[in-house]
Structure 1
Amino acid sequence: MQLKRTRFQVGALLLLLVLVLSACAPVVTPAPQGAAAPEPTAEATGEAADIGSEAHPIKVFFVPSVDAQVIVSGGEIMAQALNEATGLHFTVSVPTSYAATIEEMCASPTDSIGFIPGLGYVLANQLCGVDVAFKAIRFGWDVYWAQILVRRDGDIQTLADLNGKKWAYPDAGSTSGYLAILPMLAENNIQPGETLEAGGHTGAVRAVYLEQADFASTFYSPPLKPEGEPPWQPGDPPDIPDELVDECAVTEDGSRLMCDGWRVLDARASLRQEAPDVVQKIRILAISPPIPNDTLSFSPQFPAELRSQIEEALIAFSQTEAWNESIGNQDFYGWTGIAPASDEEYDVVRKMIEVSGMSLEDLGQ
């Protein structure tokens, strides 16, 4: 299957998402790219005094990327902390899909907050003016990367060698597993051969491990280096040093994939129980430009005074131990902190959508 056809598929998928949301959400005027969020309507301003009361709690939406029970229990810990800090009331929910999360935020323009990934944020911003406030920090990074994986014993040495090869990716809606790779392939005039939608990042790694595909694309997180060594920096080799590869093994409790003090944090680590020698078999060929992390975003007409209170409370909460039982829990979203974010930072995600075959203007239809 050629890249052109794959672009058409993801474009069709995104267009279908937009049409579904447009049919279900209330009629709103899309915010132009880079424009400020709409001013609250008179009706919304009149209701502002009630927003956050017990009768009118603020809605907090989480995308269902991990177990919903984990999200709800951790979200309730956050909601309680914010209530104690601000006196405001919150209700936590996990819509059934990423699309449903966007729909819910657009349907609640004055009183909702969403923990949504970059792709979801761009869609929500284009559809109804949802506005980003924070981005996640994970292990010191407020960005992440996509990676291209190949077998160590294979004949692929450069990006050019991917031409005509079979490509495994998680799914066509994955930013790090698919969309971030499209510009890399296009800029290098690479046309993959067959494609395999593996159903997840672990599945994409598995496909290369089992030689069901020639290369895979997944999320990349830099390795954690041993204490006392300077941390990984952009521009450093993305993989474990060659001389340490033979030392890579799963810890006794099964929780980590370690290579003589280096901890593997990219998608290969998710296959560690099934394939403890995954690093010995699979290497990183290349990583993408940085992508801003997942967002904490506010609905377009959220009252500014309440938003400021919540932002201050979130920053304070992120510095407490309770954070690690909530958003910081590795079984939840694994955010080790938060940093202020701007809409412009997500232009890189807009570029991915453009390369996929859909114009930004179409996203607001």
Structure 2
Amino acid sequence: DIMAEALNAATGLTFEVSVPTSYASTIEEMCSSPENSMGFIPGLGYILASNLCDVDVAFKAVRFGWPVYWAQVIVPRDSDVTSVADLDGLKWGYPDAGSTSGFMVPSLLWQENNVTPSEEVSAGGHTGTVRAVYNGEVDFGTTFFSPPLLPSGERWAPGDFPDVPDDLIPTCEVQRDGDHLRCGEDADGDGLKDFRVLDARAGLRTEAPDVIEKVKILEISAEIPNDTLSFGPEFPADIRAQIEEALIAFAETDAWEDSIGNGDFYDWSGIDTAVDSEYDDLREIVQIVGITLENIGE
């Protein structure tokens, strides 16, 4: 609602905000209202929507400086599983069949490693998937991975160890009134520990402050282009340009952090322009895995 109010103030337009029950529902709503719909949808949803009715991408998310993210495979920290191949015959929990990092990219990983789960469970979101692994309801889960924030002057890089270093695990705790999951020392004396967890496990931090002690990262995928803000195929170009300009301005305000920038919402720390061709690699994965709007989740 905060974002809708800001866009209304900037453009004079009225926005009706809805939260569909699934990515598939979002796609169907956008295609059924091609002239007045815009939506926040992940890469898989965007590709399916583009294939179905020519939905067009305008922006991609930026999270803490990253225009990309990753899929991660998580298992109980005391699990005997040591490789993706070991997941064969085990129970898989995932957020939603329309999730790029939680379902589509892992599906390709299973094909490449001859993994056939014994059972597949839709856990109702990324935090729900972490919860299912934490509670032992599934043997492994797949969610998004965002790189951790490291001590001042350091930056995580692709190829680096993705999880909390073993020696820091006992130090992890919830800080900043429940907003952060942090580990390590407070080297700069600001009251916050230096290593901040930003992957999906952080979503369970208040419910299970020991989530890092109980759930570990087994593997992360190749880079995935970030979630999109896309428009219906018949959206008027002049109004779209007006909204795009307003969104860019809104992303620079403090109010952004209370809406789409909120860590418990979409966690977009910023936005960047995007073009359709950036999602071509995902299109290829969709084709290889054989996902369509009709069979998604089957």
Q: Give me the TM-score of the superposition, normalised by structure 2.
A: 0.84
Q: Which residue of 1 aligns with 2:157?
A: 233
2:177 is aligned with 1:249: no
> After TM superposition, which residue ranges in structure 1, 4 or more long, deviate above 4 angstroms?
359-363
2:10 is aligned with 1:82: yes
Residues 113, 298 of structure 1: 8 Å contact kept: yes
Alpha-carbon offset, residue 361 of structure 1:
11
> Quick one: distance in 1 between partners of 2:67 and 2:133?
29
Residues 7, 247 of structure 2: 8 Å contact kept: no
> Quick one: distance in 1 between partners of 2:236 and 2:96?
37
Residues 350, 360 of structure 1: 8 Å contact kept: no
Alpha-carbon offset, residue 264 of structure 1:
1.1
> Quick one: distance in 2 between partners of 1:284 and 1:90?
43
Residues 144, 219 of structure 1: 8 Å contact kept: yes
Once the two structures are superposed, the pairs formed by residues 204-215 of structure 1 within 5 Å of their partners are: 204-215=129-140
Change (3 A) 1:309 1:223: same
2:250 is aligned with 1:317: yes
Alpha-carbon offset, residue 75 of structure 1:
2.9
Residues 145, 287 of structure 1: 8 Å contact kept: yes
> Quick one: distance in 1 between partners of 2:292 and 2:41?
21
User: What's the Cα RMSD here?
Assistant: 2.6
Per residue, is there more helix in 1 or in 2?
1
2:276 is aligned with 1:343: yes
Q: Which residue of 2 aligns with 1:197?
A: 122
Q: Which residue of 2 aligns with 1:37?
A: none
User: Any idea what SS the aligned residue of 2:61 has?
Assistant: strand
> Quick one: distance in 1 between partners of 2:234 and 2:93?
41
| Code of the aligned partner of 2:234 | Q
Q: Which residue of 2 aligns with 1:327?
A: 260
Name the larger-Rg structure: 1
User: Any idea what SS the aligned residue of 1:300 has?
Assistant: coil
| Code of the aligned partner of 1:106 | C
> Quick one: distance in 2 between partners of 1:118 and 1:338?
15
| Code of the aligned partner of 2:133 | V
- Per-residue CA deviations over 1:73-114 (Å, capped at 9, x if unaligned) read 22323323431xxxx523222154444433343333334332
Residues 37, 235 of structure 2: 8 Å contact kept: yes
2:89 is aligned with 1:164: yes
Change (3 A) 1:229 1:148: same
> Quick one: distance in 2 between partners of 1:170 and 1:139?
23
| Code of the aligned partner of 1:312 | E
Q: After the TM superposition, which of the residue ranges 93-102 and 149-158 deviates more from structure 2?
A: 93-102
Change (3 A) 1:209 1:288: same
Q: After the TM superposition, which of the residue ranges 153-162 and 300-309 deviates more from structure 2?
A: 300-309
Change (3 A) 1:95 1:326: closer
Unaligned runs of 5+ in 1: 1-72
2:212 is aligned with 1:279: yes
